[in-house]
Each structure stands twice: as C-alpha cells, then as structure tokens.
Amino acid sequence: MTVKFSALGAIDQGVGAPLLELAGVTKAFSGVVANDAVSLRVMPGEIHAILGENGAGKSTLMKLIYGVMAPDAGEIRWHGKPVEIASPAHARNLGVGMVFQHFSLLESLTVAENISLSTPHKARDLQRRIGEIGERFGLPVDPRALVHSLSVGQRQRAEIIRCLLQGPRLIIMDEPTSVLPPTGIPALFETIRKLAAQGCAILFISHKLEEIRVLCHKATVMRAGRVVATVDPTKETNETLAKLMIGRDIPRAPRTPPRPAEMAAMQLDSLSYRPDDPFGTALAGVDLSIHPGEIVGIAGVSGNGQRELAAVLSGETVLPSAERQRLAIDGRPCGNLGPGARRRLGLAFVPEERNGRGAVPEMSLTKNSLLTAHGDGMVSRGMIAFGRARAFAERCIAEMDVRCGGPSAPAHSLSGGNLQKFIVGREIRLKPRILVVSQPTWGVDVGAAAAIRRQLVELRDGGAAILVISDELEELFEIADRIQVLFRGQLSPSLSRQEASTSLVGSYMTGGFLGGATRREAVPA
Amino acid sequence: MTRLPFIIETRTHRRPGFALIAPLVAIVVTVVAGLIIMTALGVPPLRALYFLYAAPLSSLYNFGEVLLKMTPLLLIAQALAIGFRAKVWNIGAEGQLILGAIGGSLLPIWFNDSQSTLMLPVMALIGMVFGMGWASIAAWLRTRFNANEILVTLMLNSIALQLLYYLVSGPLRDPAGFNFPQSALFPDAAMLPVLIEGTRVNASLFVGLAATVLAWFFVERSMMGYRLEVGGTAPSAARYAGFSEAQAVWLSLLIGGAAAGLVGVFEVAGPLGQLQRVVSPGYGFAAIIVAFLGGLNAVGILFAAFFMAIIFVGGDIAQTAAGVPYQVNTVLQGVLLVSYIAARLFVDYRVRRRVPPRAVEAHA
C-alpha cells in the first residue's frame, strides 16, 4: 500500500469523498453510554481535532476507529464503504495508524529493531526507509540508536515513523504534545502539516485549545458521549471552544497572595541520589524547601529527575540512615522513614502513575479509598469499617465529579482523567499538612483541572505546604507561588511569580541556570 | 520474527459466575482422566468411576475418611491462599507439617504416661511454633538476602524429611519398639477425640472449619488481609501506600507455617498415634492445588478440599479393591492442577486466531 498523494488542498473540505465516516455510532459499557450516536466525517488531508472533557468519550471513539472495540450500533464507513474493523491489525491494514500517548517502544532495542517488530521486515532492511521517511516528514531519528538513549521527542518521532511505514491514510494521535517540551511542539506540528499536505488525514486528540486552534482544520467537540458541535477552530477563541466543551464558562482558580510560614514543612538539604534503575536520572545536590501556606511548582521536561524526586519525597525511595537529615519534615530528619511513617506525619502524595501505583486497578473505589485513607477512622480493631470507606469514596466521587459506576466500580473501569480526579480528591480529603502532587491534572479536561487547581489553592490557604510537579508550564504559572526547574537532576534557583516568565523558565528547562548561578537559595515568595 | 498463529488478550469484562468455570472444568477433566487411566489399568470403566468418585461417599466409614483427609488440606490451603494472594509462594507446607509433627510429638514421647488435659493444647502450640520456625528460615532469607522463597521452602521440605528420618531412627525412637523407625504410641491424653463412632473423623474437623471462617474474615474484612492483597495485586501501590513488603512476606510464611505445623500435630495425634517415617501423604503439596482450585477464596477452598479428599480416599479404595497402584492418586492431582491452570488461561484471556494480514488487505 502507498500513501495516496492528494492534489486537493487540505482546506477544500467540502469537495471530494470523505475518507472516514461515522454514522450514529453508539457504544455503552454496563449502563454508561460512552458514545451516543456519534457522527463524524474526516476528509483526506484534514487535520481534525477531537475535543472533549474526560469521560466525554474521546478514547472510546478512538478505540472504535482503531478496532479495539466494536460499536453496539451505527456504522463506520471507510472510503464510503461500511467496514467492521475487527482488530487494530485490521485497522492498520485498512490504513488507520495510531500514535499512542504512552509509548510502546522497548527500551533495550534500537529504533529499527522496535519498528521491525510491527512489520514483516528485518531491522537491517528498515534503516534506509526510516531515514527516507524521516527526511521527507522532518522526523530526524537515528535508526541504530537504542531507545533508552533517546529523548521523549525522539521516541515520539520513532513512533510516528513506525506508524508511517504502514502507509496509513489516517493517523490517530492521542495527546501527542503532552510529552513534549514547548520547544519540541513546532517541529511536531510541521510534521503533521506535511503529512496532511500529502493527503494523510490526522485525528488529533488534545485538550490544549491553543494547539487545536493553531493546527487543526476542523474540530469535533464532544460532551457526555455526544457530538455537540463541529467547528472551524481557527475561527474560535479558547473561551468559545472551552464553553462548547464543558457547556459552561471555565471557573478560574482565584488568586490570593500566599502567606507562607516561617519554618519549612518539608526540606531537602543538598540531596544527591542515584537510582538503581539504569535508565533513571540521578539527583544532584537538590535544595528545596516547601513552607506551609505556599505552592511550589517544579517545572521541567519529563525525564529530568521528576520521578526520582517524587519518590524521594514520598518515601517510596528511602534514604540510607546516614543521610536521613538530608530530608526533614518540620525540621525533623525523616529521610530514612518509609511512606507509611511519613503519611502519619501529615504527608500525602499523588503519584504520576494512576493505575497500579496511585490505585489498585482490580479493586473497587471503596477499597482504593482504604489504600491511603485507612487511617481516617476506617479501621477499628484491625477490621475494615467498610461503611466508612464507602462513604469516603462516595464523598470523593461526588465532590470531585468523578464519572464512574459508583464506589463499587473497579479503578480500571474509570477513564484516566476520572481516576486522576479520584486519587487527587482522596489525597486532598486526607487534609494533609504537606501535599506532593505529580502531574495533578494529567489527562484531566479543562473544567476538572480548574476544579483540582481551585482545591489545591484552598488547601494552601488552609495552611498546607504543597509541591506540584508538572510538565505543563501553563498550569504551574496558574497555581504556583514560586517555580523551580529540574534539569538533569539539578534544581534551578527559585523564581517568584513575578520573575517566572515563559522565556526564563524555558531557558532553565534546557539548563540555562547552570552557567553563572552555581549557588542557589530557596527563598519563599 | 516468528509469530504464533493466534493472539491471547486479557478479558476486560467478566460475567458473574465466571470464576466457577475453571474449577468445574478441571474437576470434569480429572474425572475423565481418572476413568481413562483406570480403564487402561484394566478396571472396567463403571467400576473405576465407582471406586474413585462414588465409593468415598458410599459408607459412613468412607465418608469419615473423606472428612479426615479434608481437614489437613483445608487448614493448609486456607493459610497458603492468604500468602498466595500476597504473591508469597510458600511451597514448603509439607516440610512445615513435618516439623509440626516432630514438635507435637515431643511431649507425648517424653511424658508418655501423662494424663494431663493440657497435653493436647500444648502439643498444638509447640507444633505451630515449630512450623512457623521452619517457615521463618525462608522468610528471613527472603527479606534479608532476597532469596527466592519458592526455592528455599521447596528445599527445606527435603531437609525436614531427612530430619524426621534421623529422629525416628534415633533420638525419638521407641526404645521398646524392636528397632522400628517410629516413636512410642501416644497416651490417650495426647490423642484427638473421635467425633463419630465407627469412623476416624476427629475434633480437628472443627478446627479446619473454624480456620475457614477465620480465613474468610481475615481476607475479606481485616486491614491486614487488605494490605497483603494490595501487595500481591499491585506492588507499586503497596509501596506507595507504605505497606511493608517484608511484613507481608513474614506474615504470609508464618501463617502458612503455623497451619501446616498444626496439621502435623493433628496427624500424629489423630490417625497415626505416634511419630513415624511417613506423617503425611503429601498434604502440603496437595493443599497448593486445593488453594488454587478454590480460587484462593475461603469458601471455594472448602469445596476444593472436599473434592481433593475424595481423590485421596478414592485412590485408597481403588488400590485395595482393584489393585490399582497408589500413584494414580498423584497423577490425578497433577491432572487437576494442570487442567485448572489451563482452564484459567481461557477464563482470564481470550484466545483468537491471528487474522492473516494478506487476507484483510484484499478487501481493504
């Protein structure tokens, strides 16, 4: 199969036959209708955004198009002919490719070897073609490089090339910019535009309204499983798009000045740590203090030590006894305490991974409440008070607007964003004195993200010390009272809200603080 | 790159009652396998069926035997299942049982004419401590040196057996026993009371049933059981929540050791009446099968133990009535486990043919 090079300008969407058409596609899961009579048309060469809140049904829709699931009703037409897409392999053979949000590359193999796994060709024969495709679409990546040595951006390029080798006419991209540093995004967009110019259609899933407006020709907005509008995003504003998406205005987190206390609630004193994981990032001389009543943001491109820092703070990585004073809670050396002991000192933590770490996928939300909230009166004489656990879960579901089948629903039945809301809600409801949050709104839509941020600010105003580790600069600018940047395991000097401009933080994200600023102090804003 | 012609994928939606399919399939396969093996050995099919699966329930005495053999399986399997849910693989219940039997025999051997009513409870206690002690070797090696508990517990079985051989041929041998490798017969005070006249069922049955209730509460209702389960299903989540892995390993192995040790005491204080070279027909191993067949669920294990006891007794009956070798029993246990594991594959996963890419391309 070869990519059909369309002579049509991508903007002439009214002309020609649609590539993909969905008519009245419906899919329900045990009572919850995820897609309700969804209709959609994608023309060749069109960059088509799918926009919607969490649980709006975007993921389900993509799964239906990519053959992971079959619709209950409705029709999918490909080149005008009805098809039943039986499996992702079938979808790929039809010409539908997908670039996943989380990469599916094996770290210990080279790029070419990884790609050969999904094609009948040998890695050696692929090298030239990888080069060619890379050349043509602006995707430079060395086919002989081992994947673990690649940056996130390079990995994403490898994924896209793998997808392109199958000659797709439609590529589904699931939140492709969420893993990239701001500087990597224009290159990706350039690639996407080149693809579109050659006739390949792109389904672009993103919740970043700005990107959709800059990149996409058309946007299908979904809400609660239905298509509420199909618009030309270039003619919309962020506000109008957001309003369509959530059906009301987005509540902004109110900004009140922080009133940080004198003494740090949690402090790191020139902490260095080398993880066992050979692909991990070593932390080098990290000084950090979080004071009650402030939100500290940690920015940086992912993979620069965020994961390691979070594990050291949460206690999942325990420091050797000799270095226990490197981490202090309320001035007390705590580096050698495990997560349970730190929680008893008032620490709560939201990890980056939701399934399997922040929650047990197989267990109900009630049982997942117990995971960290068990100290909240849910255990009496060693036995679980299920009534209380259930009540906690119900409260958390209601207050965080978690879309799910109730407290008995297993965690893996929730969409990523909804599980995130549940976990963040659970940790906030523990009324921690210190809260460490990794990616608080990862995969969460605009409306819910705003709610989470508002709750974090409320918690801060109640006197909690909060650390937010996030890839999203916008988010940190919105809620953090001061920002520090992680680069290759080193932490930049602290920047107050006034000092933290996009350009300064951006330069810090590529190590700009390492030159002159060798001594740094953590100053509360 | 070679590819299998089929694809195996996880089933995401499970209907209620699905959990019953695997054990039922395993039982049917085992019944059929028993039939085939017995027929191959020259026993007419119907008689074979009768011996293996009906005779054990046909008389009060035989039924008593089933209950007698069900108890040790039940006790050990309940304890092992708790560890298995935490993914702590104690394969050493047989060795822990032997140590329990040794520990439980000390009092009745050393105080052979005692009539104290405290004898039995103290024996049980010592037996449990011995079993836990044996299991804690594996727990310590695992938590201190990260030594795999499967290998350690498995090897400790052999050591326990040699220790037993040494003791019954030396220090604990009955001086008046014509050099037979066995201890003196236990006094009445050291024997479990028989429940039903004309059978060998003894009071240990109640302990087994009580353990079932306890295990159910532990697994379903206690915080400790919850911690163990989280550790087993999502180790990262357990680490995140601060549930100690070392604690899970210790607790799992100690519970298993205590139950197996107690069963060792029940064997010497029940049907055996003395310490012998053979104290268990492989209860420690069979209980692993029972635990899995019962879906690691307290109620399921009760039924699984009952079925396994039927196989044990049926094998005995077939041996005496038709001269079938006792090994048929072991073979059937193996069939039961393998067919259960195989059936689980089809219950937990969906296996379907890989669509040949070319065929699809044609109509694309």
Predicted confidence (pLDDT) at residue A525 exceeds the cutoff of 60:
no
pLDDT over 70 at B321, yes or no: yes
Cα of A485 vs its chain's centroid, Å? 18
Give the pLDDT band (50/70/90) at residue A31: low
d(CA A175, CA A160): 13
Tokens of B221: 């209702």
Whether residue A93 and residue B357 make contact (CB cut-off 8 A), yes or no, is yes
| Rg of chain A taking only CA atoms, in angstroms | 24
The model's pTM: 0.76
B222 and A382 within 8 Å at the Cβ level: the answer is yes
Query: Which CATH fold would you assign to the domain B18-350?
Result: ABC transporter involved in vitamin B12 uptake, BtuC (1.10.3470)
A333, β-bridge pairs: A328
- State the Cα–Cα distance between residues A471 and A476, nearest whole angstrom: 9
Does position A254 have pLDDT exceeding 80, yes or no?
no
pLDDT over 90 (residue B338): yes
Cα angle A71, A75, A76; round to 5 = 90
In the predicted model, what is the mean pLDDT of residues A282-305?
90
Q: A339: distance to nearest CA of chain B, Å?
A: 5
Number of inter-chain CB pairs under 8 A, A vs B: 88
Domain A254-346+432-525 has what CATH class? alpha beta
More confident: A444 or A295? A295
* Residue A4 forms contact with B (CB below 8 Å): no
pLDDT exceeds 60 at position B325: yes
- The average confidence (pLDDT) of chain B is 90
- The predicted pLDDT at position A251 comes to 59
In this predicted structure, which of A270-279, B130-139, B256-265 has the lowest mean pLDDT?
A270-279
Helix, strand, or coil here: B31? helix
Å between A110 CA and nearest CA of chain B: 15
Closest residue by Cα to residue A347 from A271, A453, A436: A436
- Where does residue A23 rank: exposed (0-12), middle (13-18), buried (19+ CB within 10 A)? middle
Return phi, psi of residue A170, to 5°. -140, 130
What is the predicted pLDDT for the residue at B359? 40
User: CB within 8 A of A385, min separation 6: which ones?
Assistant: A377, A378, A379
* pLDDT-derived band at A11, boundaries 50, 70, 90: very low
**Are the C-beta atoms of residues A116 and A126 closer than 8 Å to each other?**
yes
| Two structure tokens written together for A348 | 């709560």
Contact A339 B13 (CB under 8 A): no
Q: List phi, psi (to 5°) of A388.
A: -70, -40
Query: Is residue A280 left, alpha or beta, with left meaning phi > 0 and alpha meaning psi from -120 to 50?
Result: beta
Domains A20-245 and A254-346+432-525 share a fold: yes
Report percent pLDDT > 90 for chain B: 69
Q: State the average pLDDT over residues A208-231.
A: 88
Instruction: Tell me which of A117-121, A236-240, A375-379, B42-46 is least confident.
Output: A117-121
Region A293-320: what's the mean pLDDT?
90
pLDDT in tens, A123-165: 788 888 888 888 877 788 888 888 888 877 788 888 888 888 8
Question: DSSP 3-state helix, strand, coil percentages of chain A (rounded to 5)?
Answer: 35, 25, 40
CB contact under 8 A, B230 and A339: no
Number of H helices, E strands in chain A: 16, 23
Report the gap between the CA of A357 and the closest CA in chain B (Å).
Answer: 4
Q: In chain A, which residues have their Cβ closer than 8 Å to the Cβ of B19?
A: none
Please count the CA atoms within 13 angstroms of the CA of A436 that sit on its side-chain side: 29
- Contact (CB<8Å) A338/B244: yes
B9-13 mean pLDDT: 71
> What are the domain boundaries of chain A?
20-245, 254-346+432-525, 361-420
Residue ranges per domain, chain B?
A: 18-350
**Per-chain mean pLDDT for chain A:** 85
Distance CA B100, CA B57 (A): 30
Residue A248 confidence class, pLDDT cut points 50, 70, 90: low
Q: B9 Cβ partners below 8 Å, 6+ apart?
A: B349, B350, B352
CB-based contact B303:B294 (threshold 8 Å): yes
Supply the ipTM of this predicted assembly.
0.81
Query: Is 80 exceeded by the pLDDT of residue B9?
Result: no
What is the sign of the dihedral through the CA atoms of B321, B326, B331 and B336? positive
Tens-digit pLDDT profile for residues B80-113: 999 999 999 999 999 999 999 999 999 999 999 8
- B324, two tokens: 């079938």
pLDDT at A133: 82
Q: CA A476, CA A128: separation in Å to the nearest integer?
A: 42
Residue B106: enclosing H or E segment and its boundaries? helix B93-110
> Is residue A485 predicted with pLDDT exceeding 80?
yes
Which fold would CATH assign to domain A20-245? Rossmann fold (3.40.50)
